[in-house]
Amino acid sequence: MPSLVEWRVDERPPRLWTRLYVAVMWVLRDKRAFTGQEQTVWIVRPRRRRPAARVLYLHGGGYVHPLTPDYWRLVRALTAAPAEVVVPAYPLAPVAHVDDVVPRLVALARSLDDLPLVVMGDSAGGALSLVLAGHLRGAARRPDAVVLLSPWLDATLDEDQVSDLEATDPMLEETGLRAAGRWWSGGRTTTDPDVSPVFGNLDGLPPVDVHVGAHDILRPAVELLAQRADRADDVVLTVHERTAMFHVWMTRFVPEGAQTRRILRDRVRAVARPTEPRHP
């Protein structure tokens, strides 16, 4: 079956509030890293309705940063689908690496079998989401949809445009990302598909939506993903690009973030099954 690749561009300029917010982001740009070995799993449910779908949400942070408050803003929006959102705080590099974490996430995903499932993640979590979809490709219960938010698809950052885009991205720095990618890869190369899923097998994946900003240094690898998906078999890939946006804007307290969160809620709602109100 031929594949379908679609790239949609939203060219609206950023709002004034967003411009001010980004200016503060540059001032507070975070250079710290955190490590950990344990995996805590958070489960967030809607208050007044039974969940009609489930989201397995894999957070970003370059494999070295933990969950931050911004992620819960997105999680709250997703519960309105209504959905249950499962958020694993997976072990981090350099203490842990890909071979420690991916098997845990595969086992977690396979245990989530009673509701339609969307695997979603941002940045490094976006890469993990695509890796996870590949591992679950032949499973009896695979995801119904995969959503990648500003995904870090190529840990090598070898695309020519990366250096030019760094000057426009208030969140990411190329040098630190390269180091984090090496830590995360462990005994693998950084081009291994479990580390850089843009090089993996895309045949037969569930429908994939990618949201990316034009100012994101990770955008070039999304172009490569679209090219490879176009040559793959039986995959539907839709890229949603915001020309004025930066890395992982959809978690931030800006108008464009709220707009994208509503789009993501509706994407989850599209795979949900009918549900009834939750009774006291």
**Which CATH number covers residue 218?**
3.40.50.1820
DSSP state of 275: -
Going by pLDDT thresholds of 50, 70 and 90, the confidence category of residue 16 is confident
Asked if the structure places residue 258 within a domain, the reply is: yes
Asked if the structure places residue 280 within a domain, the reply is: no
The whole-number pLDDT of residue 173 equals: 66
**Residue scoring higher pLDDT (215 or 278):** 215
Statement: residue 146 has pLDDT above 50:
yes
Statement: residue 12 has pLDDT above 50:
yes
- Is 175 buried (19+), middle (13-18) or exposed (0-12) by CB count in 10 A? exposed
Q: Which residues of 209-245 are buried (b: 16+ CB within 10 A; e: fewer)?
A: bbbbbbbbbbbbbbbbbbebbeebeebbbbbbbbebb
Is 19 strand, coil or helix? helix
The whole-number pLDDT of residue 50 equals: 94
Statement: residue 36 has pLDDT above 60:
no
Domain count, the chain: 1
Asked if the structure places residue 192 within a domain, the reply is: yes
Asked if the structure places residue 69 within a domain, the reply is: yes
| Per-residue model confidence as pLDDT tens digits over 166-191 | 666 666 666 788 899 999 999 999 99
Statement: residue 163 has pLDDT above 80:
no
Asked if the structure places residue 242 within a domain, the reply is: yes
| Per-residue model confidence as pLDDT tens digits over 39-84 | 789 999 998 899 999 999 999 999 999 998 899 999 999 999 999 9
Going by pLDDT thresholds of 50, 70 and 90, the confidence category of residue 257 is very high
Asked if the structure places residue 173 within a domain, the reply is: yes
Asked if the structure places residue 279 within a domain, the reply is: no
Asked if the structure places residue 156 within a domain, the reply is: yes
Statement: residue 270 has pLDDT above 70:
yes
Q: What pTM value is reported for the model?
A: 0.85
Strand 40-44 with 83-89, pairing: antiparallel
Percent of the chain past pLDDT 90, that is, above it, reads: 67
The whole-number pLDDT of residue 171 equals: 62
What is the domain range of residue 38?
4-271
